[in-house]
Structure 1
């Protein structure tokens, strides 16, 4: 797992990329009320966690390169023995320094008093502009305080820069330790999906299969989901972000599961589609194998130097050609692609960055061009086909079939590695797994 040295290295990386005479600010995620006096389980803001590893609300980190008293200043809640009785251990100012590497630590209540000092004679401030109203207010108030000292020869920052521009580029390329964590998230997520396949049968509810996933994740210490699980039987699979998960699974239907565990704040993201009764019908198999062919073509396009759009274009070409072959589209493949006729059945892109957020940060275009893949990037590859139950333009045998196949893919020096490859996805392998006692 990540150590204080890992977080220190990240802060150094960021500060090296900041312009001279700058300071950076980032705030923790707030605690969120579920109802009345009950809070949701706390999950730290990914940017704040990336730089600090600090897992408490009511905190602000300041990076001040060249500051004589120390470059990493953390404002947080002081230790409160009474609070510790009710909610457990928390870092306090001493823990902020000893355990999280802060050079200076102040009570969060001292932010308004201390921040002007940290901004004096700094030319620019990096911070997440407009993301946190309280941080925006604290910063602008501090800047105005510094401006009020102009007659004393003190200068205030005059340039404000979005922190994400630098920070998210750092987050895009995963370190070896981050990749180890993501491998573990993928490994446990695969176990959850395998358990779900074996537990599936007609007459069970979607939420029962959802429970199997959560059970397996928690057995391995991953109590947090990377995102709400999609467990969509039959035509529910044609709703891309279906999370109601309360329908009865029908004999002869497919079940689409899109679910992943979170390990140490890093996400896995897997989708598999399989028959509720363990055997694909002929129409289901034809659609499924077409999506699998598209996914394999897309994965083959993931390698250093290839561009972000290429896996999607490879998948679209295979899907469109196959839809013509199956009679769901009519016309020349190239024209259908140009006219985006495939979007009736395939309306989303083929992947996204993956990391601390399931839809992780990082630009998809650089300098007006699709970004080139580099080693250390992690993305999903997830083509699909969704034929609505009320689609009157197609033969009834296709209606209500929704299929998506998604894997997590690491870009390596000489190609790519599918982190979730241990989960079956051929028709034969899925049917064999579901037939196991």
Structure 2
């Protein structure tokens, strides 16, 4: 892979932490993601199953990981199956991992080829009492595509109907929510690459530039710094486009007097960063734009200060809502009477700030975690308030990535310009 090698101790430690919370005589089965088809013989780019990567570091298709910590034969306690290369694959796709290379990446000693799976699996499955199978249990998941994991669950139930099945996802959510030091380093690297892209576009943006040209500038900078590219579909939204929360067409011309909302960030070694900035296309905010920008920035700073150990999701978002109410009143967008008459299920401020303030961040942009769990050291959240005034064609959002520690929090994007004066200064140098 283009990213620098990751210390295999991360994956060894992740497997150890998982083993500690498994039921006795258990077996964990994880499959790699599929290559998703496009048309004819085309495929989309490969994205590894995040849980499999978290436990092995293997970034290759057709991989299977078995963990059976209490198996009587020590060599079967951690087993990795890989796609075996051959001359045809080497010519058309390039070499696949050798067994020695996979051992170096993962720290797993016992490795077989995928075509050997059935024979080896029979030696492992019949001493297991509980089998953990994996599914995508993210609260936002709405995919209609059948995954390799879901196909495997169907096959397993047919072939082994009397085994006790358990859900792996809750355990992985618990573990992945707390980032290890190496993970934080990788996320910081993604943030650093994102900064390089943002600094580059500040010199590039001007009236007449196309939104997709800005996207291209960012991609150039990300890839040249060992990222695969964007951590998610980039949003480059000028003027009224910024009021569409998931605007991804990136096809319009940036006009003099508009504000450009950029929700764009790099990945690194499969770890995501997530940045949003709002900048004036001509390099100077108008008075009204600056009023709204400063209001969002004040909410951002208040919200960021509440991302600390011991706080909890719903209470945090309730408090951010109260701060946003005050700012929207100051901007003349809502009144105290609007608040008095509001529907508690959809507060008045939601007209101009309809989304949440934070989400978990890690191997996935909307990473896994339990919203009912109090914040703990090692958790990483976005902080991203915004105000969207459709009648004015103005949308402003600001977003950084925040690491919670035992002594407050650390802003992983603190080195990226966010103050209005700093943005204007950098654009006009």
Same fold (TM over 0.5): yes
What is the number of residues matched between the two proteins? 410
Cα distance in structure 2, aligned partners of 1:429 and 1:102: 48
Q: 1:184 to 1:98 in 2, by over 3 A?
A: closer
The answer for the alignment partner of 1:319 in structure 2 is 324
Alignment of 1:212-251 (within 5 A): 212-251=217-256
TM-score (norm 1): 0.89
Q: 1:318 to 1:27 in 2, by over 3 A?
A: same
Structure exhibiting the larger radius of gyration computed from Cα positions: 1
Cα distance in structure 2, aligned partners of 1:288 and 1:296: 12
Cα distance in structure 2, aligned partners of 1:241 and 1:195: 23
Selected match of 2:90 from 66, 84, 95: 84
Q: Verify: 1:124 aligned to 2:130, yes or no.
A: yes
Q: Verify: 1:178 aligned to 2:195, yes or no.
A: no
Alignment of 1:31-70 (within 5 A): 31-67=35-71, 68=73, 69-70=75-76
**Offset of 1:277 from its aligned partner?**
0.4
**Offset of 1:192 from its aligned partner?**
0.8
Q: Verify: 1:74 aligned to 2:97, yes or no.
A: no
- What are the superposed Cα offsets for residues 198-222 of structure 1, whole Å, 9 maximum, x if unpaired? 2100011001111111111112111
The answer for the alignment partner of 1:378 in structure 2 is 380
**Offset of 1:92 from its aligned partner?**
4.4
CA contact (8 A) 2:10 2:180 kept: no
Cα distance in structure 1, aligned partners of 2:269 and 2:302: 32
The answer for the alignment partner of 1:143 in structure 2 is 160
CA contact (8 A) 1:294 1:316 kept: no
CA contact (8 A) 1:77 1:92 kept: no
- What are the superposed Cα offsets for residues 196-250 of structure 1, whole Å, 9 maximum, x if unpaired? 1221000110011111111111121113310011000000000101110010001
Selected match of 2:290 from 282, 285, 294: 285
**Offset of 1:118 from its aligned partner?**
1.5
Selected match of 1:107 from 101, 108, 113: 113
**Offset of 1:359 from its aligned partner?**
0.4
Q: Verify: 1:414 aligned to 2:420, yes or no.
A: no
Q: 1:29 to 1:305 in 2, by over 3 A?
A: same
Cα distance in structure 1, aligned partners of 2:20 and 2:418: 44
The answer for the alignment partner of 1:14 in structure 2 is 18
The answer for the alignment partner of 2:258 in structure 1 is 253
Which stretch of the first structure deviates more once superposed, 212-221 or 343-352? 212-221
**Aligned to 2:160, what secondary structure does the other structure show?**
helix
> Where in structure 1 are there 5+ consecutive unaligned residues?
145-155, 366-370, 392-398
Selected match of 1:3 from 7, 12, 31: 7
**Aligned to 1:34, what secondary structure does the other structure show?**
coil
**Offset of 1:186 from its aligned partner?**
0.6
Cα distance in structure 2, aligned partners of 1:417 and 1:96: 34
- What are the superposed Cα offsets for residues 280-335 of structure 1, whole Å, 9 maximum, x if unpaired? 11111111111111010000111111222344233322221121122211225863
Cα distance in structure 2, aligned partners of 1:202 and 1:56: 43
RMSD across aligned C-alpha pairs, in angstroms?
A: 1.9
**Offset of 1:129 from its aligned partner?**
4.3
Cα distance in structure 2, aligned partners of 1:139 and 1:8: 27
**Aligned to 2:38, what secondary structure does the other structure show?**
strand
